[in-house]
Amino acid sequence: MDVLMANLPLFIPLIIAEVILAVTALIHVLRHPHYRFGNKIMWALIVLFIQVIGPIAYFVLGRGEEE
Please say if the pLDDT value at position 24 is more than 90: yes
Is 17 exposed, middle or buried, given 0-12, 13-18 or 19+ CB atoms closer than 10 A?
Answer: exposed
The pLDDT score that the predictor gives to residue 37 is 83
Q: pTM for the full model?
A: 0.79
Please say if the pLDDT value at position 1 is more than 90: no
- For the stretch 35-59, pLDDT in tens is 888 888 999 999 999 988 999 888 8
In the predicted model, what is the mean pLDDT of residues 30-34?
Answer: 86
**Percent of the chain surpassing pLDDT 90:** 43
The pLDDT score that the predictor gives to residue 66 is 65
8 A C-beta contact, residue 33 and residue 65: no
3-state secondary structure 4-44: HHHHHHHHHHHHHHHHHHHHHHHHHHHHCCCECCCCHHHHH
